[in-house]
A and B are shown apart, each in its own frame.
Chain A
Amino acid sequence: MTGETDLSAADKSAPRESRRSFLAALLGVGSVFVAALLSVPLIRFALFPLIRRTTELKGSPVGELSEFASSTEPVMRTIRIEQVDGWRKAVSEKAVYVTRDGQGQVRVLTSICPHLGCTVPWNKEKKEFTCPCHGATFAPDGSRISGPSLRGMDTLQASVENGQLLVQFQYFRQLVSDKEVIG
């Protein structure tokens, strides 16, 4: 008895039911659309490190290129390294040498000994770099002469912009024969 009435009720409400599901589909699509729209700023916000560089090492100015034109031996310069790390920055100072390679091109060397990391001073009398810690020696262009170091002094990536010599400071792994960047 109840089954019969239910059946007829379902028959009658069929068009209404379909109108309801059409509306539901419309609302569902609309909600998904609005939600997608609203999540655009959220996604842009969260993906900011992909959109722009949030951590970077800025090239440090070493000096005017012309300053080094007449130098006959390596010149020590202290550079300011600015490392941006999100909302903070670290500033440190490092000593580098501006010298020339075999072809007379400007070359920038880090002063850190590739053996165990001491700062290598330039020895004016002997015309070579001599590490004070374990006695490694290097030629004016940084190539290895003698001592415990397994490779020559490390060359830094340098570029010239508007006559300014810029250098990208990096650290390299010690105690290995091949230059290997460690950030």
Chain B
Amino acid sequence: MSGEMSRAHSSASGPRESGVWGWLNRRTGVDDLLRGALDEPIPGGARFAYIFGSGLLFIFISQVITGVFLALYYVPSADHAHTTVAYITKTVTAGSFLRSLHAYGASAMVVVLFLHLSQTYIYGSYKGRRELLWLSGCVLFALVLAMAFTGYLLPWDQRAYFATAVGTNAVSEIPWIGESIKRLMRGGTEMGTLTISKFFVAHVFLIPAFIFALVGSHIFLFRKAGAAGPVDEDPYQPKQKSELFYPRQVLMDLSLTALLIIGLGLLCFFVPMQLGPPANPADAQYVPRPEWYYLPIFQWLKYWHGSAAIVGVLVIPTLLVLAILALPFLDRSVERRPWKRPAAMGAYAFVVFMLLGLGLRSQYLDRHDSGVAQQLAKQKADEDEYARKPFDPELSSASLAAANVTLADPLAAKGKTIFEGQSCNACHGDGGVGTAAAPALLGINKKFSPGQLAELFKHPTAKMNAGGMPPIDLPPDDLKALIAYVESLK
């Protein structure tokens, strides 16, 4: 207690007290906050084994920033999603780099998350009053995977579309409620623009909100329980000589951050993430493949069909998840040394072996099925070809209305010239889309027959007259052409 007081005292009278920093500190107490954050004691001293948590925090912040910037140009709708991502990758300066950083960042997140989890598990750092810390970590793990799943769809290219179609289909294998969950996720029976809306809201608003909250509690719970230290340390009452988080552990943590920055930066610069051709739901040939970290689950689901599906899709995963969640409650021993925990290490090795095996098996099967291998190669070639094409802006719907007037019917085409020559478009708009001066003529064929229109053209109603619509005086042939054109407007 007196030690802490003297520290606070020395900081208050230290050299930092003058100038801007001193003023800021007197107003905010930032010095004490910093000290509180940096002077975390680590039993047994700083180690490279402990660097993964802050690495995750760094990637998460990077994902938030790049995500917000990508949203500057992205539009979440089946009509525009792919165009806007193509615009980002092909036209906007640094767009390809930032999108790659966000996409590869997701993979990096999964890798570092796995390392963080493995370190915690192997070091037995979940022991000793760290149940909630472990639970919040598990939920964060699930949330990160959910972020990867929802974000993957958003570019709406072939790869994204079909991978998500398979992913949501897998959900429907869950007995009784699977079909309903799938429909809820998709926003309907099929994937479409509502699926994008839902995934976008989940990816951008809901899941990040939960992640922010849980990262906060995870760090709070970590500080509350204290660093667990090395494997031979007592998880309840650390006895080894401790070292403060700053400076050595900070430097070690920063080395991972630097490695991530350099690694991701080089990758994004030299091998940017590709965008494939736009989703084409009618492409029955397409062989969907999920991102690498979902391959084990993808392969696993292949083995379970029919009445056995309930075991593979529901029973085993549920038991596995429950076992992981309950770990700190079930394993109450204070023993943390891996070599004294053969059962725990065996289980870990088994799960990792299964994940690796399933993922590799999936790759192996793809390579050795010539049909699939050929189709996958073709899909890759299609992606490369699309990536090389320059950006082509999307034609706006208003111009489509004007363009559909390049009509097949020559009579209507003649009518179009009359429509413009008689200045009908001055009030009714080009292509009859309507203006402030006069109503739209689109779909008027549903309201009036050609005969009724001819009568209205020759003898406008009082209301039409009042609005400025003059009677049309044209030779019968021209009138017929004009009516054919107006009736064709949709």
Contacts and interface: CB of A to CB of B under 8 A. Distances in A.
Interface of A: 2, 6, 9-10, 17, 20-21, 23-24, 27, 34, 38, 40-42, 44-48, 51-52, 84-93, 95, 112-113, 116-121, 131-133
B426 A45 contact: no
Contacts of A2: 2
A130 to B, nearest CB: 11
A88 B396 contact: yes
A133 B6 CA distance: 91
B425 interface: yes
Contacts of A88: 80, 83, 393-396
| Size class of the contact patch on chain B | 35 or more
Given A90-B396, A91-B395, A20 B72 contact: no
Interface in B6-20: 6, 9-10, 14-16
Contacts of B393: 84-89
Contacts of B395: 88-91
Given A48-B93, A117-B426, A118-B426, A89 B396 contact: yes
Contacts of B80: 87-88
A87 to B, nearest CB: 4
Interface in B458-490: 470
B428 to A, nearest CB: 11
B93 A52 contact: yes
Interface string B172-183: 000000000000
Contact of B250 (A27, A41, A85): A27
B93 A133 contact: no
B73 A119 contact: no
A116 B438 CA distance: 13
B83 A119 contact: no
Chain B interface SS verdict (over half)? helix
A93 B403 CA distance: 9
A45 B430 CA distance: 36
A102 to B, nearest CB: 28
Contact of A41 (B94, B258, B394, B399): B94
25 contacts: A6-B2, A17-B14, A20-B247, A23-B247, A27-B247, A42-B66, A44-B94, A45-B93, A52-B93, A86-B87, A87-B86, A87-B393, A88-B83, A88-B394, A89-B393, A89-B394, A90-B396, A91-B395, A92-B399, A92-B402, A117-B426, A117-B427, A119-B421, A119-B423, A133-B423
A18 to B, nearest CB: 9
Contacts of B402: 91-93
A173 to B, nearest CB: 15
A45 B94 contact: yes
B421 A51 contact: no
A20 to B, nearest CB: 7
Nearest to A34: B261
Contacts of B101: 41
A90 B398 contact: yes
B65 interface: yes
A9 B72 contact: no
Given A52-B93, A87-B393, A89-B395, A133 B73 contact: no
User: What 3 A-B pairs have minimum CB-CB distances, sorted nearest first?
Assistant: A87-B87, A41-B94, A118-B423
Contact of B98 (A41, A91, A119, A120): A41
A38 B261 contact: yes
B98 A42 contact: yes
Contacts of B470: 133
B95 interface: yes
Given A117-B437, A121-B421, 17 more contacts: A17-B14, A20-B246, A21-B15, A45-B93, A48-B95, A84-B393, A88-B394, A90-B396, A92-B430, A113-B423, A117-B426, A118-B423, A118-B426, A119-B421, A119-B425, A121-B423, A132-B423
Nearest to A9: B6
B97 interface: yes
B420 interface: yes
A42 B93 contact: no
B399 A91 contact: yes
B72 A46 contact: yes
B353 interface: no
Interface string B395-424: 110110011000000000000000011110
B134 to A, nearest CB: 31
B10 A10 contact: yes
